[in-house]
Amino acid sequence: MKFAVQVEDLKKIYHLKGETVYALRGVTFNVPEGDYVAIMGTSGSGKSTLLNLLGCLDRPSHGSILLGGSDTSKLSDDELSYLRASRVGIIFQAYNLIQQLTVLENIEVPLYYRGKVSPEDRRRCKELALMVGLQGRLDHRPMQLSGGQQQRVAVARSLINNPDYILADEPTGNLDSKTTEEILSLFERLNNEGRTIILVTHEDDVSEHARRVMRLSDGELAEDRLIVNRRSALATSAS
Any domain includes 2: no
* 131 — pLDDT class (breaks 50, 70, 90): confident
Residue 116 has pLDDT above 80, yes or no: no
Chain centre distance of CA 208: 17
Any domain includes 159: yes
Any domain includes 207: yes
Q: In what order do the strands lie in the sheet with 62-67?
A: 19-32, 3-16, 62-67, 70-71
> What residues contact 34, with CB distance under 8 A and at least 6 apart?
4, 191, 194, 195, 196
> What residues contact 131, with CB distance under 8 A and at least 6 apart?
156
Helix (H, G, I), strand (E, B) or coil at 172: coil
Span 87-112, pLDDT tens digits: 899 998 888 999 999 999 999 998 88
- 195: domain CATH number? 3.40.50.300
> What residues contact 72, with CB distance under 8 A and at least 6 apart?
56, 59, 64, 65, 66, 80, 83
pTM confidence score: 0.87
CA distances from 49 to 39, 52, 73, 169 (A): 11, 5, 16, 10
Range 107-134 burial, b when 16+ CB lie within 10 A, else e: bbbbbeeeeeeeeeeeebbeebbeebbb
Structural domain count, the chain: 1
Span 45-100, pLDDT tens digits: 999 999 999 999 999 999 999 998 889 988 998 888 888 888 899 998 888 999 99
pLDDT of residue 237: 46
Helix (H, G, I), strand (E, B) or coil at 47: helix
Any domain includes 69: no
Any domain includes 18: no
Give the domain extent around 136.
33-60+76-236
Helix (H, G, I), strand (E, B) or coil at 187: helix
Angle between helices 147-159 and 177-192 (to 10 degrees): 10
Any domain includes 7: no
